[in-house]
């Protein structure tokens, strides 16, 4: 059977992608950001997932303001890196797992979570930057990827609780797929950041670290954090963190935290990263 063995939480700051694509990761500003992912790449190389289920948000790239699905599941055979204004990132095309994605769509929708099914979709930095951080610069991504796109751009995004329960439904779907697959689930976005108006540049390291503690130790309490607390404590774009609860909901209640990295600054945001393993692998 397919099984979810581990979860990865990871920021998606677009400037991280630019730093990798332009070969400046050794510069003093960037070096400490990337050092925290060295252990993660070693872990990934050992973990060898067959599939990454990647929860991320689109930034008005695949979806314009005309149409904003709350949850959109990537069921296509491949997902091209999108042109976000400076040409597409020079990273490989993302290959999907169509049979597993269709199975998840069926299982999760019949489990009463209404997903939008995406049979064609381009993917932006929200998806490609976490892949680059975890796999480095590669000619081909070493596994298949199923994207789940969550609206955190236009109010109202889903609640943390809804995301957490969706994670549980995704777990049930993957557990019931009859092929021996190692699946790692990513929750991406965050940490604290605000890109606009008077509080632009806001960083709240203490709150971010507490969020990571709660995510590991008390995920139910973490999933109950209301939107207004993300806004107040972590800035308007800090609400991207609701996506981490999908990842956490798909794991066991009791997990092992195998790695954590937190660094300020990267562009206008704090970079947060965590790796959680199920104990029942």
**CB of 208: closest distance to ligand DHB in angstroms?**
14
**CB of 267: closest distance to ligand DHB in angstroms?**
3
What number of helices (H) and strands (E) belong to the chain? 10, 10
**Nearer Cβ to ligand DHB (59/273):** 59
Is 59 in the active site? no
Phi (first) and psi of residue 255, to 5 degrees? -125, 165
**CB of 57: closest distance to ligand DHB in angstroms?**
8
**CB of 269: closest distance to ligand DHB in angstroms?**
4
**CB of 125: closest distance to ligand DHB in angstroms?**
6
Rounded CA separation 204/248 (Å): 22
Catalytic member of 12, 97, 125, 273: 125
**Nearer Cβ to ligand DHB (113/230):** 230
Return the HEC string of 145-172.
EEEEEECCCCCCCCCHHHHHHHHHHHHH
**Nearer Cβ to ligand DHB (13/51):** 13
Residue labelled with tokens 């769509």: 105
> Cis omega (within 30 of 0) on the bond before 265?
yes
Rounded CA separation 193/226 (Å): 17
Binding residues vs ligand DHB (CB under 6 A): 12-15, 59, 193, 195, 237, 267-269
Rounded CA separation 238/236 (Å): 5
Task: Please count the other Cβ atoms lying within 10 Å of the Cβ belonging to residue 189.
Answer: 27
Is 12 in the active site? no
**Nearer Cβ to ligand DHB (25/268):** 268
**Nearer Cβ to ligand DHB (87/140):** 87
Angle between helices 160-175 and 98-110 (to 10 degrees): 120
Helix intervals (H) in 176-241: 205-217, 219-223, 227-234
Catalytic member of 193, 245, 261, 273: 193
**Nearer Cβ to ligand DHB (120/200):** 200
Nearest to 223 by CA among 244, 208, 206: 244
Note whether 174 and 167 are within 8 A (CB).
Answer: no
Estimate to the nearest angstrom the gap between the alpha carbon of 271 and the chain centroid. Answer: 13
Q: Count of alpha carbons within 13 Å of 7, Cβ hemisphere only?
A: 31
**CB of 190: closest distance to ligand DHB in angstroms?**
8
Catalytic center residues: 125, 193
């Amino acid at each position: 059977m397919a099984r979810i063995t581990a979860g990865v939480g990871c920021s998606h700051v677009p400037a991280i992608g630019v730093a990798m694509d332009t070969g400046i990761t050794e510069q003093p500003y960037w070096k400490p950001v990337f050092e925290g992912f060295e252990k993660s790449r070693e872990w990934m190389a050992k973990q060898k997932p067959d599939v990454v289920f990647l929860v991320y948000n689109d930034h008005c790239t695949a979806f314009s303001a005309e149409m904003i699905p709350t949850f959109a599941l990537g069921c296509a055979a491949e997902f091209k890196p999108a042109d976000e204004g400076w040409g597409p990132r020079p990273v490989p095309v993302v290959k999907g797992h169509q049979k597993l994605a269709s199975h998840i769509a069926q299982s999760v929708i019949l489990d009463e979570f209404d997903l939008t099914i995406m049979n064609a979709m381009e993917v932006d930095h929200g998806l490609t930057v976490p892949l680059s951080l975890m796999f480095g610069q590669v000619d081909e991504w070493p596994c298949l990827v199923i994207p789940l796109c969550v609206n955190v751009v236009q109010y109202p995004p889903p609640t943390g609780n809804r995301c957490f329960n969706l994670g549980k439904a995704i777990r049930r779907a993957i557990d019931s797929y009859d092929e021996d697959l190692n699946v790692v689930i990513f929750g991406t976005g965050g940490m604290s950041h605000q890109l606009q108006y008077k509080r632009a540049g806001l960083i709240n390291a203490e709150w971010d670290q507490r969020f990571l503690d709660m995510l590991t130790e008390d995920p139910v309490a973490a999933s109950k954090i209301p939107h207004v607390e993300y806004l107040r404590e972590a800035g308007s774009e800090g609400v991207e963190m609701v996506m981490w609860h999908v990842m956490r909901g798909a794991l066991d209640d009791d997990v092992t935290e195998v790695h954590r990295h937190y660094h300020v600054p990267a562009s206008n945001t704090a970079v947060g990263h965590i790796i959680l393993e199920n104990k029942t692998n």
